[in-house]
Structure 1
Amino acid sequence: MRDDELVVIGGSASPLLTKEICQILNVPEGKGEVLRFSDGNLFVKVGQNVRGRHVYLVQSTVFPANDNFMELLFWVDALKRASAASITVIIPYFSYAKGDKKDEPRVSIRARVCAQSIEAVGADRVVTLDLHAPQIQGFFGIPVDDLYALPALTDTIAAENLSDLVIVSPDAGFAKKAKQYAKRLNAPLAIADKERVDHTENARIVDLIGDVDGKNAVIVDDFTITMGTLAEVADCLIDRGARSVRAAVTHGVFTGKAMQRLDASAIETLYVTDSVENSPVTASSRVHTVSVAPLFAEAISRIHRRESLSILFS
């Protein structure tokens, strides 16, 4: 398989991540353009010959979620009609992953609709990062690789050389993943008991399981939007005697007053990946970005050379 068969194209939601991936792979960025008309319509055009080539499309689906998701579909369709040999969709942040079940009457399973659309339009494979619900992989009839940001985030935390470290899960649902963070960092685990009663993106911390007294706490989660839960857990940790509080989150989907909440909270540093790069809010000085470009570049390289991706999950 020749190197010139590989093409990496970035959608308008992930230009910086695409650029870094291409630099790591030592390949030129694929050419293309996206136009937005006054009536809201999108126009996507592939700017080079991709006939018979293996294309990797990098596109997060947020800010705005619907526009960027439709753009992703149009890219895949354009590449398919341009006779690409294969199309692998790299989705750093899959925004509709929260809609993974029918948990109340008369609602759509939105993640399944998105999965079926990506498959129907012609994608051959999907590579994503820390899906909110791993079972979404089963919504696709094509291969899906759900990569982990855990190694990159834990390496960054370990570099802080914090003593008396404790990992904190913000709720019981994330406890299993938080345990992996704790194991990798050789630290104990604490779990906050969170209660959510509606769709307002607000939750209430009702209890904390585990000892955090005198310890440097790190809250871990897959994403944050309003910073409400993280800020409340941080305050709870300080009340329980924690020496300091940090947080590590894969997807920083910041909206509204998220940065004001962060700056007003006990969280000293918030580690996030660059899976979301077009947030409408300006990041606080407390936000530390950890690049996942090396992770995606390695995945692309292994897929392209028909090598196993198992090492990326170990």
Structure 2
Amino acid sequence: MRDDDELVVIGGSASPRLTKNICKILDVPVGKGEVHQFSDGNLFVKVGQNVRGRHVYLVQSTALPANDNFMELLFWIDALKRASAASITVLIPYFSYAKGDKKDEPRVSIRARLCAQTIETAGADRVVTLDLHAPQIQGFFDLPVDDLYALPVLTDAIAAENLDELVIVSPDAGFAKKAKQYARRLGAPLAIADKERIDHTENAHVADLIGDVEGKNAVIVDDFTITAGTLAEVADTLIQRGARSVRAAVTHGVFTRKAMSRLDDSAIQTLWVTDTVEKRPTRRSKRIVTVSVAPLFAEAIRRIHARESLSVLFS
């Protein structure tokens, strides 16, 4: 491999551990750079090595604080572009504004669309992300987007428990299609909770449950959780309906301050989450088990850099 064809992997301040693990798998050093926040809140980003003519892979989640981390992402892209990188592939393990994918009430912004346009304008050449809240967000970009699945990683963790009488539970109708994929891979039946959300308080109400869970070991699956409110309420409903035990598997564990106490007070015995979100303003519950998606992102980088197909990662 020629020197100018060597890949460079740089991590933003939101994803240092994931970046380190990805680099370890790829057997490459972590790219050098620095981020500094001034007293007035302004961010300063500097690439710490020569990237001229190099193919750069930037890892940066946009979780808490979402706005700071998103702006840092843009500054990294701009800095790499001005440093004459040959290409900039942006890996966004958690794309926080993905929930704003539509105009579902009058006079609101389609936030995911604006974020996509901004990333593109900053100079990104490709985006790789994981379990977008709405897959159609890929169409908000006019550049290649690969929306990877955490399903294989999480189903392996669930399967390792060797649970008999397993049932997979979708927390709402919107996630039912993806939950069905979990159920099919694990050879288990599917149940669906009918969830209602009437405002922006991040509180939801479970109105009904479709499917048989009596005497079964239930696993709730979802793409993300912030307050753990939906997980806790669905878990209580499952116990009321006769479930033997309740666990959960979620791709993105964002977790605000009240999430941990809510989780500890719930019927959920184990909550599997990936390592897409590293920094949280709260303690960590002992019920949380983290599974890494570093191998998944490392393989995506390897295939993109070698100009190989990524289709195997979606099988």
The offset of 1:256, in angstroms, is 2.1
**Matched residue SS, 2:212:** coil
The offset of 1:279, in angstroms, is 1.1
> What are the residue-to-residue correspondences of 1:201-212 with 2, within 5 Å?
201-212=202-213
Counterpart Cα distance in 1 of 2:105 and 2:244:
41
2:175 maps to which residue? Answer: 174
Counterpart Cα distance in 2 of 1:19 and 1:30:
10
Counterpart Cα distance in 1 of 2:75 and 2:2:
27
> What are the residue-to-residue correspondences of 1:209-220 with 2, within 5 Å?
209-220=210-221
**Matched residue SS, 1:219:** strand
Deviations 1:170-222 (A, max 9, x none): 00000000000000000000000001101110000010000000000000000
The offset of 1:2, in angstroms, is 3.7
**Number of aligned residue pairs:** 314
> What are the residue-to-residue correspondences of 1:150-189 with 2, within 5 Å?
150-189=151-190
The offset of 1:280, in angstroms, is 1.1
Percent identity at matched positions? 85
> What are the residue-to-residue correspondences of 1:111-122 with 2, within 5 Å?
111-122=112-123
2:225 maps to which residue? Answer: 224
Counterpart Cα distance in 2 of 1:2 and 1:139:
35
Structure 2 residue identity aligned to 1:312 = L
Counterpart Cα distance in 2 of 1:280 and 1:295:
27
The offset of 1:7, in angstroms, is 0.1
2:76 maps to which residue? Answer: 75
Consecutive unaligned residues of structure 2, counting only runs of 5 or more, are none
2:192 maps to which residue? Answer: 191
- Asked if 1:301 corresponds to 2:302, the answer is yes
Counterpart Cα distance in 2 of 1:254 and 1:62:
10
The offset of 1:253, in angstroms, is 0.6
Paired residues of 1:100 and 1:136 also in contact (CA < 8 A): yes
2:65 maps to which residue? Answer: 64
> What are the residue-to-residue correspondences of 1:15-26 with 2, within 5 Å?
15-26=16-27
Counterpart Cα distance in 2 of 1:227 and 1:245:
14
1:252 maps to which residue? Answer: 253
The offset of 1:288, in angstroms, is 0.2
Counterpart Cα distance in 1 of 2:251 and 2:288:
12
**Matched residue SS, 2:304:** helix
**Matched residue SS, 1:108:** coil
2:40 maps to which residue? Answer: 39
Counterpart Cα distance in 1 of 2:183 and 2:251:
16
Structure 1 residue identity aligned to 2:212 = D
> What are the residue-to-residue correspondences of 1:280-299 with 2, within 5 Å?
280-299=281-300
Consecutive unaligned residues of structure 1, counting only runs of 5 or more, are none
TM-score when normalising by structure 1:
0.99
Paired residues of 1:231 and 1:267 also in contact (CA < 8 A): yes
Counterpart Cα distance in 1 of 2:262 and 2:137:
31
**Matched residue SS, 1:236:** helix
Counterpart Cα distance in 2 of 1:284 and 1:37:
32
Counterpart Cα distance in 2 of 1:188 and 1:256:
34
CA RMSD between the two structures: 0.7
Once superposed, which parts of structure 1, at least 4 consecutive aligned residues long, lie more than 2 Å away?
1-4
Counterpart Cα distance in 1 of 2:173 and 2:167:
16
Paired residues of 1:5 and 1:52 also in contact (CA < 8 A): no
TM-score when normalising by structure 2:
0.99
Structure 2 residue identity aligned to 1:197 = I
